[in-house]
Amino acid sequence: MCEAIELKNELAKYHIKNAQEDLLVAVNRSPGMALCELAKRLKLSKGTVSTSLKKLEEEHLIRKYPSPDNKRTLMIHPTKLGKDLYQKIYSHQIFYHS
């Protein structure tokens, strides 16, 4: 139970809600995905994903880079901070489901 509260407090520091948490997990598991791919994977609209990505970017948890193939397509990558937060989420998921 303490682990869950600790994770919840950690996510609150970055203003992370459930949808953003799922998005951060997806970006960490498949870095370099485009917004459209993320929307399909999470079964969310492009607008919802775009809004959530903007929030994650403001919190310095992800970065967007132009695709080498198409400069109009942005590839989403976690930052060091985003990777660290993902590790806490991942550790909690393993602990919770064990």
The pair of structure tokens assigned to 56 is: 């994650």
Integer Cα distance of 56 and 91 in angstroms:
20
Report yes or no: 39 and 46 within 8 Å, Cβ to Cβ.
yes
The pair of structure tokens assigned to 49 is: 């994903």
Count how many Cα atoms sit within 13 Å of the Cα of residue 63 in the half-sphere of its side chain: 7
For residue 1, what pLDDT is reported?
A: 53
Domain 2-97 bears CATH identifier 1.10.10.10: yes
For residue 97, what pLDDT is reported?
A: 42
Integer Cα distance of 2 and 16 in angstroms:
19
pLDDT tens for the chain, 98 residues: list them. 577 778 788 888 888 888 899 999 999 999 999 999 999 999 999 999 999 999 999 999 999 999 999 988 999 999 999 999 999 888 876 544 44
Q: Which pTM value belongs to this model? A: 0.84
